[in-house]
Structure 1
Amino acid sequence: MSHTAIHATRGKDLGVALLAGVLCGLIGLAPWLVSGPRLPLQNLWAAEVPPEAMPLSLLPLSQYKLVTLVTLLAVGGAVAGVAVRLLFPPRRWPPARRRPLAWCAAAGVLLVQLFATIQAFAVLRNGLVDGDAASDLYFGGLLAGVIAAIIAGLVACLLLSATSPAVVALGVGLMAVPFGNWVSAWAADTASLGQLTPAFFGLIRWLPAVLVGLALAWCGFRPPVRVLVWVADLALLWVVPALFISVDYVLGTRIRPGDLAEMLLMSRQILAATLGPAGGGGLSVLVALAIGLAGTVALEVLRRRKVTSVA
């Protein structure tokens, strides 16, 4: 193959990766976009308006929607990482060629999320009380949260597109809980409430544990350093839901803006309660651990049978 043909092929692959990233960024935002993306009502809005009169916004900017924001933005990056694995399998693509493709996919996600961020914050700034310290603090806090969520999504994209099963398993552990929230949000926004049974949402509640368990089974224990991935994933499965609940509860109360001491005190109390036995996180960890161990044993048995049959 000539150098021109090689460059053309590589350029096409990079374009496919970039387009995949753009689509995945849109998929991440889909639960919000299909729900009728109007800016949620704001406590600091300059004029009193009904919900249906709020302007269109590509992100649900609100202190009551911070966990939703993290979910929408982080899952977009995670889906892009999975797309890279499907489009450019590690077994068929050397690392030197796959790495730029993963970065192109991440860039595609970033383009979508930056556009959505600029549009949404422009709308928010136009409607907030001008020159008010509380409005400035609110605007800056939301912006910091959105930036952190975008970074988390880009990290997830690179982890899930990696060659190493251990690195991919770590990415699954990082994104399992946000993905479960994303599925719940999609179901709630796209189906009528009469068609969603409690059993359905009960199954979604276990989705993060199942994903983590399957990822750990695929990761295995060899080499032994992968035990650290098991510990990290199980810790994330236990801690991340508690963090989300704590953030939702604290920001959902009418604490005086800027009272960081009171917010920290309340967050510690809620976090301690949700990390305890009553929070249910320990049961999710046990389910993931059981799936991981059972899957590891099953894969090891299959591997030995394959070696025996070949011998």
Structure 2
Amino acid sequence: MSLPEQTRPLQQTKRTPPGDAVLGWLLGILAGLLGLAPWLITGAQLPLQNSWGAEVMPDQMPVSLLPLSQYELTTLVALLTAGGAAAGLAVRIWQPARRRLVAWCAASGVLAVQFSAAVQSFTVLDGGLADGTLARIYFAGLVAGVIACIAASLVAFLLLVSRPRALAALAAGLMAMPATSWAGEWVAGFVGQTNIPAAVPAVARWIPALIVGCALAWCGLRPARRAVVWLADLALLWVVPALFISVGYVLGTRAMAGDLQEMLLMSRQILAATLGPAGGALPTVGLALAVALAGLGIRSIAARRRSGNRTDNTHR
């Protein structure tokens, strides 16, 4: 058998650009659906609305692919950014030959799912809200919030698919808290919000630190400019959970609904309290730093052993 005949089957199995494009697009769609899955498994009924046009029970609310509510803003962040991060991580692990083509097709798949979910959800919300200025402001605020979440999802995707480890590690810092919140939504989806075991929030407090610590250990400190990523990730680990707590508390307080000045004042007060020593962020940041340094040590020992084994084999 000649060489061309032997290599022909291998050439026939190579994927074409359209094939890679379709695979990337399907990957993006699956990632987008995965991001929304913790909400979808609950039945995806629109949360009760303060400005709803009629009095209904929670189980009478229409189906909505996004939990549109001022009380669910941090949930929206988690659901939407998780889709972009999942797609970016999948492309990074896959490492396709046509990386750019697959990446943009995957991004379009994620955006297609998120845009479709947003259109369906806002159509349902618009059809049920009562008339009035407050309802229009509420609707516009939710639209702006969802657009910001989708933009953050795209940022997470682009950072994770980029070749430099430093950018991927930065994405881990941005996604540590939303990813933890997304995992918590899975628990709530299966057992219900009122039946979550007390151990879950206690464990969830430390998960962002473990994510950041492992990402920094993987990123490394060489070249020296990667130290900027270490500082940025540790700062994000300090600030992002405080933002989640502040936003969740302020938007969840019905007494201040519509009073923007009072809401901003309380958000600053809560943010300052959670960022301060009493907020409890220091142990979390310390754990992330300890995990990162321990990971660097393990990598260094492993590299020395591999180098020693190669030297021994050379002498033999």
Name 2:59's counterpart in structure 1.
52
**Residue correspondence of structure 1 range 4-15 to structure 2 within 5 A:** 9-15=16-22
CA distance in 2, matches of 1:98, 1:177: 28
Residue 284 (structure 1) aligned with residue 291 (structure 2) = no
Cα displacement (A) at 1:245: 0.6
RMSD in angstroms over aligned alpha carbons? 2.1
Change (3 A) 1:7 1:87: closer
Decide whether the 8 Å contact of 1:103 with 1:158 is kept in 2: no
Name 1:101's counterpart in structure 2.
102
**Residue correspondence of structure 1 range 1-311 to structure 2 within 5 A:** 9-88=16-95, 93=97, 97-130=98-131, 132-191=132-191, 197-311=197-311
Cα displacement (A) at 1:163: 1.6
Matched residues, percent identical? Answer: 56
State the one-letter code of the partner of 1:39: L
CA distance in 2, matches of 1:240, 1:216: 17
Cα displacement (A) at 1:44: 0.6
State the one-letter code of the partner of 1:40: P
Decide whether the 8 Å contact of 2:251 with 2:257 is kept in 1: no
CA distance in 2, matches of 1:256, 1:226: 43
Decide whether the 8 Å contact of 1:77 with 1:156 is kept in 2: yes
CA distance in 2, matches of 1:202, 1:262: 31
Cα displacement (A) at 1:46: 1.1
Q: Secondary structure at the match of 1:58?
A: coil
Q: Secondary structure at the match of 2:186?
A: helix
Mean Cα deviation higher: 247-256 or 279-288: 247-256
Q: Give structure 1 stretches of 5+ with no counterpart.
A: none
Decide whether the 8 Å contact of 2:81 with 2:150 is kept in 1: yes
Q: TM-score scaled by structure 1? A: 0.92
Q: Secondary structure at the match of 2:233?
A: helix
State the one-letter code of the partner of 1:147: I
CA distance in 1, matches of 2:208, 2:256: 34
Name 2:4's counterpart in structure 1.
none
Mean Cα deviation higher: 259-268 or 80-89: 80-89
Cα displacement (A) at 1:254: 2.5
Cα displacement (A) at 1:257: 4.7
State the one-letter code of the partner of 2:62: P
Name 2:3's counterpart in structure 1.
none
CA distance in 1, matches of 2:18, 2:94: 15
Cα displacement (A) at 1:88: 2.4
Mean Cα deviation higher: 251-260 or 178-187: 251-260
Cα displacement (A) at 1:306: 2.1
Q: Secondary structure at the match of 2:16?
A: helix
Q: Secondary structure at the match of 2:65?
A: coil
Cα displacement (A) at 1:196: 5.7
Cα displacement (A) at 1:85: 1.7
Cα displacement (A) at 1:192: 6.5
CA distance in 2, matches of 1:257, 1:264: 11
Q: Deviations over 1:123-171 (max 9, x none)?
A: 11111112x1111110010111101011111111111122211111011
Q: Deviations over 1:154-197 (max 9, x none)?
A: 11111112221111101111101000001111012113689864
Cα displacement (A) at 1:50: 1.1
CA distance in 2, matches of 1:21, 1:124: 26
State the one-letter code of the partner of 1:104: C
Cα displacement (A) at 1:70: 0.7
State the one-letter code of the partner of 2:71: Y
Q: TM-score scaled by structure 2? A: 0.90
Cα displacement (A) at 1:309: 3.0
Give the number of aligned pairs: 303
Change (3 A) 1:282 1:141: same
